[in-house]
Structure 1
Amino acid sequence: MAPKVLVSDKLSETAVQIFRDRGIDVDFRPDLGKDKEKLAEIIGDYDGLAIRSATKVTANLIEKAKNLKVIGRAGIGVDNVDREAASKAGVIVMNTPFGNMITTAEHAISMMMAVARQIPEANASTHAGKWEKSRFMGVELTSKTLGVVGAGNIGSIVCDRAKGLKMKVIAYDPFLSQEKADKMGVEKVDLDDLLVRADFITLHVPLTDQTRNILSRENIAKLKKGVRIVNCARGGLVDEEALAEALKSGHVAGAAFDVFAVEPATASPLFNLPNVVVTPHLGAATTEAQENVALQVAEQMSDYLLTGAVTNALNMPSVTAEEAKVMGPWLKLAQHLGNFTGQMTDEPIEAINILYDGEASTMNLEALTCAVIAGIMKRVNPDVNMVSAPVIAKERGIAISTTTQDQSGAFEGYIKITVVTAERERSVGGTVFSDGKPRFIQIKGINIDAEIGEHMVYTTNNDEPGIIGALGNTMGENGVNIANFTLGRSERGGEAIALLYVDDPVPAAVMDKLAETKLFRQIKPLSFDVA
């Protein structure tokens, strides 16, 4: 059955057609996002939800979206999506951060020019029949110092455009390397240096705990007198009340804001000040950008629903279509290894340690780690997946660590996981053979070669005669057919293990008969999703 996608906001017909061309069953209802009750009523029928900003994806809506796998936001901002609720429900949240980069950067440059030359006020004055040339004395951009806070995708474009305007560009970004700064032709500085040197400051960072009020009252006081501030990034980056006071006092000469702490912004301390230019979050509002992000979100959602490729997800590692093909068996192995330890562990888990060896160490480790955690968490939550599992693990205070190493044994690559509880450590290792089938190759340090089946039985015992007979006879006498039988031991007479792959679940009565033999330390039925 083809995946079903609901488009509940205004996307272009071209974007909707992409879904159709890819074989997706798409329901285009562009005004539905405004009707919360109707949306909640029907959302359970869909695998994907494509939105812009009008649709509010709340925890309540996600709770009703039992089949939902992916939410695609045409645009960069996802303030209208409850990401925490989506992650807990295992729903991928995607955005399109690159479709409107140029548009947003151009808007920032436009706002900077507008506030430098007081264009909106001069326009209004002239329309009113006045001719106030002396009132609107502006400043040139040439040779001025532009301080760019955040030199990522959009910030770097602003830097490039500003250099074309012959401005001196300084940039603050904790992740900007000196090599990248040199390549961009900008001076890398710390924030305090930028605050006291810049004639213009433009913000291009996301809103996080670290960036909230990055231009606080304290930092605004440090600014060079006569500075002009542009914010086309996110509301909440600037203390609007403190900035309004600095504008009124003349310490800050002007400001241009496209975003506000509360949106829609019907009131702000910055409104109605003569040296402030404001626009209603127009950073991405060009015909080209709106079309680009719509096309991108349609492609991204289709790729995920049809091939498993993950692009621009905010709560899941990205996996390309090529990676998905190569990593498919390894992701399955990671889930099986996690599932084994999850089913074997009854006490609370304190830590999960994962070793990636050889070929496995060269893959997308974030995705593999999510698969391991998902496998482990299956026992406590059957609906868990690679998106929700890390959230559940974090909530439970489980420490996750990973290690990589070059090929160290007979296999080209393998994964070994160790689960730590207050009582014990339990480890299992596996690899993928050339036939693409995952195998268990080590349990509790004992080497084995076990094919993984939907229904299995795991036993531990002392290495002594009679074990194979007891297992074979008991299963045979009770109509349980063994598809594969694997044994391993630490040493002669030491600890031994057995893994049986059987055609059907083993009845509890048969497990009881095995226990009655007194030959086994542990007998455990296991199940794996091998589809």
Structure 2
Amino acid sequence: MPKVLISDKMDPKAAEIFRARGIEVDEITGKTPDELKAIIGQYDGLAIRSATKVTKDILSAATNLKVVGRAGIGVDNVDIPAASAQGVVVMNTPFGNSITTAEHAIALMFALARQLPEADASTQAGKWEKNRFMGVELTSKTLGLIGAGNIGSIVADRARGLRMKVIAYDPFLTPERAVELGIEKVTLDDLLARADFITLHTPLTDQTRNILSRENLAKTRKGVRIINCARGGLIDEAALKDGLDSGHIGGAALDVFVTEPAKESPLFGTPGFVSTPHLGASTTEAQVNVAIQVAEQMADFLVSGGVTNALNMPSLSAEEAPKLKPYMALAEKLGSLVGQLAHDALGGIAIEVEGAAAQLNLKPISGAVLAGLMRVHSDTVNMVNAPFLAKERGLDVREVRHDREGDYHTLVRVTVDTQEGPKSVAGTLFGNAAPRLVELFGIKVEADLQGDMLYVVNEDAPGFIGRLGQTLGEAGVNIGTFHLGRRNAGGEAVLLLSVDQPVPEPLLWQLCNLPGVKKVKALRF
């Protein structure tokens, strides 16, 4: 009989579901890391919320652990690479608290519009400052969504019910999906210039970190009100404070902070600032939903091997897995490559297979491509939920099999539709096992995609490679492998270099300024 530990306070329905499925369950909360480490070895499953930290040290003692289930979205408290290395599946419940979080964003928007916290404090202090609190109507105002996924689309629906005009910035939102939602898709700069209210609904990634930077906050219209119930780190908090003090920003409401718990902040006490202690998912209904979902998902996995919302494992049958594993590794790398190089304003994606790959189940390969592609913008995407997220954003996904014989015994090609036209990458398996890039945006380039890499587009001219190598060498960056391709002699050339450590931003700018360089991009696989 499988055995599960619930280590954080969770709705009782979770334990009921485990027991109904024949799983032994212990509810032991509040353990210190050392105490948890001492007992974790006897459990097959661990159900958590945000309090338990599943570290590498804890996992090293979890000799029987097969699955960790997070009742909620964020998995910052789980060392996913360590869990993967140990063969532990990590699951979350990305959609259990969507409505609750969306409603909290709407509530904070009302609080800002009508200065409710300040008015409440004033009135309860025995004052009657009716003329002091002059609010604004939401009707006819423009709401700018940064992120139009599951939660963002719910906010859009509620805002339209309030007769607001809704515009959205989301690279994965297609024009067709925008029409379906009744919103207008815009660029980030356009949103900043037009929005009366801005709400954020995007994960925290390298691309979204400080998306409301000091520079971008300066682009907003005077009097804008900003709400963040998504992730701390999306807004430059110091710049937000300055904007409130200057009067350029009319109000801000944060449910999340860069550092949590936020016991102190320069924003506290600032006029026009409203804060809550990460309450986005804090409703009775949401807590019940995520508890039920995580228990059902973990029970399915422990009893029948079913996998749902796993962050480090695809949905595969036992028979398909050995054949598909190398293809999925190739597919994810190709998706990650095109996602890092051509991630803005995607209209559609085509996943083509030929040769041996055309005889396999295409769904896991397609899911792996989408996971690699969308991971650039989401820290919770995986091969299981990536197709759903793509569909939710209206991304047109085309799967194509070719019976033809090509130059390679097996080939996977990924083509994305961008504003600049289609961009395509292709790869094969070396020795039927090792993923290998063979084509990049129409240029023949053979390369392994792994670790930290540099992508360089330059004019094909004598001496360039020497200058590039010298610049990297003087900065102490060692080149591991070097892959070169070009369209024609003297034309556009492409370099893919693996390096032994991440290339710092100042060095990237230095490389950009080398003669003949058109583009430089740091990649990570």
Q: Name the TM-score, length of structure 1 as normaliser.
A: 0.64
- How many Å apart are 1:202 and its aligned residue? 0.2
Q: Secondary structure at the match of 1:329?
A: coil
1:188 to 185, 188, 198: 185
What secondary structure, in the 3-state scheme, does the structure 1 residue paired with 2:303 have? Answer: helix
Say if 1:161 and 1:41 are closer, same or farther in 2 by CA, change over 3 A: same
Distance 1:91 1:307 in 2: 16
Assess, with a 3 A threshold, how the Cα gap between structure 1 residues 333 and 246 changes in structure 2: closer, same or farther: closer
The answer to whether the aligner puts 1:361 opposite 2:351 as a matched pair is no
Give the aligned partner of residue 141 of structure 2: 144
State the distance in 2 between where 1:29 and 1:40 align.
Answer: 13
Structure 1: where are the runs of 5+ without partners?
Answer: 339-352, 370-385, 388-402, 429-531
How far apart, in 1, do the equivalents of 2:402 and 2:206 lie? 38
Deviations 1:322-378 (A, max 9, x none): xx5xx432225557999xxxxxxxxxxxxxx99654552344226899xxxxxxxxx
Contact 1:357 1:406 in 2 (8 A): no
**Aligned mate of 2:319, from 323, 326, 329:** 329
Flag the structure with larger Rg.
Answer: 1
User: Residues 452-491 of structure 1, C-alpha deviation per residue, up to 9 Å, x if partnerless?
Assistant: xxxxxxxxxxxxxxxxxxxxxxxxxxxxxxxxxxxxxxxx
Whether the 8 Å CA contact 1:418–1:427 is kept in 2: the answer is no
Q: Could you tell me how far apart the structure 2 residues matched to 1:366 and 1:161 are?
A: 33
Coordinate RMSD, CA, aligned: 2.8
Q: How does 1:234-273 map to 2 (within 5 A)?
A: 234-273=231-270
Corresponding residue for residue 20 of structure 2: 21
Give the corresponding residue for 1:380: none
Q: Compared with structure 1, are the counterparts of its residues 361 and 336 closer, same or farther at alpha carbon in structure 2 (3 Å cutoff)?
A: closer
Q: Per-residue deviation at 1:80?
A: 1.3
1:168-247 counterparts in 2 under 5 A?
168-247=165-244
C-alpha spacing 1:131/1:358, structure 2 compared with 1 (3 Å): same
Q: Give the aligned partner of residue 390 of structure 2.
A: none
CA spacing shift, 1:147–1:173, aligned 2, 3 Å: same
1:334–1:415 contact (8 Å) kept in structure 2: no
SS at 1:328 equivalent: coil
User: CA 1:336–1:158 in structure 2 vs 1: closer, same or farther (change >3 Å)?
Assistant: closer
SS in 2 for 1:235: coil
1:42 to 39, 43, 54: 39
1:405 matched residue in structure 2: 401
Match of 1:276 in 2: 273
Aligned mates of 1:260, 1:272 — CA distance in 2: 15
1:111 CA drift (Å):
0.3
Question: Paired residue for 2:481?
Answer: none
Residues 229 and 90 of structure 1, relative CA distance in 2, 3 Å threshold: same
Paired AA for residue 160 in structure 1 = D
Give the structure 2 partner of residue 460 of structure 1: none
Q: What is the rounded CA distance, in whole Å, between the counterparts of 2:327 and 2:126 in structure 1?
A: 77
Residue pair 1:355, 1:404 contacting (<8 A) in 2 also: no
Task: Decide whether aligned partners of structure 1 residues 117 and 71 sit closer, same or farther in structure 2, where only a CA change above 3 A counts.
Answer: same
Report sequence identity in percent.
Answer: 62
> Does the residue aligned with 1:175 lie in a helix, a strand or coil?
coil
Work out whether residues 356 and 404 of structure 1, in 8 Å CA contact, stay in contact via their aligned partners in 2: no
Letter of the 1:329 counterpart = E
Report the Cα distance in structure 2 between the residues aligned to 1:186 and 1:248, rounded to whole angstroms.
32
Count of matched residue positions in the alignment of Structure 1 and Structure 2: 365
